[in-house]
Structure 1
Amino acid sequence: MWRRSSCFLGLPLPRNASVIRRRGESLCLFNGCSSDSRLKVVDALLGAVTWEQEVRVQGWVRAVRAQKEITFLNINDGSSLQSLQIVARPDLDIRGITFGSAVEIWGKLVRSPHKKQSTELLADKIKLVGACNPVDLPFKIKERHSLEYIRQFPHLRCKTNVFSSLLRIRSEAFTAFHSFFKNNGFIHIHTPIITSNDCEGAGELFQIEPASKTAEKHNNFFDVPSFLTVSGQLHLEVMTGAFTQVYTFGPTFRAENSQTRRHLAEFYMVEAELAFTESLKDIMEVMENLFKTATSHILSKRPDDVELFHKYVAPGQKGRLEQMMKNSFQVLSYTEAIDILQRSMETFKFEPKWGCDLQTEHESYLVEHCGNIPVFVVNYPYDIKPFYARDNQDGPQHTVAAVDLLVPGIGELCGGSLREERLDLLQSRLKQHGLKETYQWYEELRLFGSVPHGGFGLGFERYLQCILGVENIKDVIPFPRFSHSCLL
Structure 2
Amino acid sequence: MWRSGLLDICATRWPKSILCLFSGCSSDSRLKVSDALSGAASQREQEVVRVQGWIRSVRAQKEITFLHINDGSSLQSLQIVARPDLDISNVTFGSAVEIWGKLIQSPHRKQSTELLANKIRLIGSCNPVDLPFKIKKRHSLEYIRQFPHLRCKTNVFSSLLRIRSGASAAIHSFFMNNGFVQIHTPIITSNDCEGAGELFQVEPASKTAEKCNQTHFFDVPSFLTVSGQLHLEIMTGAFTHVYSFGPTFRAENSQTRRHLAEFYMVEAELGFTESLKDIMEVMEHLFKSVTFHILSKYPEDIELFHKDVAPGQKERLERMLKNPFQVLSYTEAIDILRRSAEIFKFEPKWGCDLQTEHENYLVEHCGKIPVFVINYPYDIKPFYARDNQDKPQHTVAAVDLLVPGIGELCGGSLREERLNLLQTRLKQHGLPDTYRWYEEIRQFGSVPHGGFGLGFERYLQCILGIENIKDVIPFPRFSHSCLL
Q: Structure 1-normalised TM-score?
A: 0.94
2:96 maps to what in 1?
102
Q: Does 1:43 align with 2:35?
A: yes
Q: Is the 8 A contact 1:6 1:13 kept in 2?
A: no
How far off its partner does 1:80 sit? Answer: 0.3
Map of 1:6 onto structure 2? 16
Q: Which of 328, 339, 343 pairs up with 1:332?
A: 328
Which amino acid in the other structure matches residue 74 of structure 2?
S
> How far 1:63 sits from its partner (Å)?
0.5
CA separation of 1:455 and 1:10: change in aligned 2, threshold 3 A? farther
Sequence identity percentage = 84
Task: Check the 8 A contact 1:61/1:102 in 2, yes or no.
Answer: yes
Aligned counterparts of 2:115 and 2:148: Cα–Cα separation in 1: 32
| Structure 2 SS opposite 1:155 | coil
Structure 2: distance between partners of 1:60 and 1:7: 30
Moved over 6 A (4+): 7-10
1:92-122, Cα deviation, whole Å (9 max, x unpaired)? 0001111000000000011111000011000
Tell me the SS of whatever aligns to 1:319: helix
Counterpart secondary structure, 1:447: coil
| Counterpart residue number, 2:175 | 181
Contact 1:414 1:456 in 2 (8 A): yes
Q: Does 1:128 align with 2:128?
A: no
Name the one with the larger strand percent. Answer: 1
Say what the alpha-carbon RMSD is for the aligned residues: 1.5
Tell me by how many angstroms 1:6 deviates.
3.4
Q: Which residue of the partner structure matches residue 466 of structure 1?
A: 462
Q: Which residue number in structure 2 is paired with residue 310 of structure 1? A: 306
* Cα distance in 2, alignment partners of residues 256 and 204 from structure 1: 6
- Going from structure 1 to structure 2, the CA distance change for 1:83 and 1:410 (only over 3 Å counts) comes to same
- Name 1:161's counterpart in structure 2: 155
Residue type of the partner of 1:245?
A: H
1:255 is matched with: 251
1:7 shift after superposition = 7.2
Instruction: Tell me how far 1:13 sits from its aligned partner.
Output: 7.1
Counterpart residue type for residue 289 of structure 2: T
- Give the distance between the partners of 1:89 and 1:5, measured in 2 at CA: 42
Aligned-residue offset at 1:448: 0.1
Describe the shift of the 1:8–1:452 C-alpha distance in structure 2 as closer, same or farther (beyond 3 A): closer
What are the equivalent positions in structure 2 for 1:237-316 lying under 5 Å apart? Answer: 237-316=233-312
CA distance in 2, matches of 1:214, 1:446: 38
2:311 alignment partner AA: P
Alignment correspondent of 2:145:
151
* Cα distance in 2, alignment partners of residues 11 and 312 from structure 1: 37
Q: Which residue of 2 aligns with 1:29?
A: 27
**Contact 1:327–1:373 (CA<8 Å) still a contact in 2?**
yes
Q: Is the 8 A contact 1:9 1:48 kept in 2?
A: no
* Displacement after TM superposition at 1:219 (Å): 1.6
- What amino acid maps onto 1:93 in structure 2? D
Distance across 2 between alignment mates of 1:254 and 1:105: 46
Matched length: 467
CA drift at 1:29: 2.9
AA of the residue aligned to 1:351: E
1:158-182 Cα offsets, whole Å, 9 max, x none, are 0000000000000000001000000
**Mapped partners of 1:48, 1:485: distance in 2:** 44
Give 1:11 shift: 4.6
Task: Choose which of 104, 111, 118 in structure 2 pairs with 1:117.
Answer: 111
Is the 1:9–1:43 contact (alpha carbons within 8 Å) kept by the matching residues of 2?
Answer: no
CA contact (8 A) 1:427 1:436 kept: no
Determine the structure 2 residue equivalent to 1:33.
none
1:71 matches 2:65: yes
Corresponding residue for residue 350 of structure 2: 354
Amino acid in the other structure paired with 1:75? I
Give, as a single letter, the amino acid of the residue that structure 2 aligns with 1:29: S
Equivalent residues of 1:205, 1:227 under 8 A apart = yes
Task: Give unmatched runs, 5+ long, in structure 2.
Answer: 1-13
Distance 1:7 1:43 in 2: 20
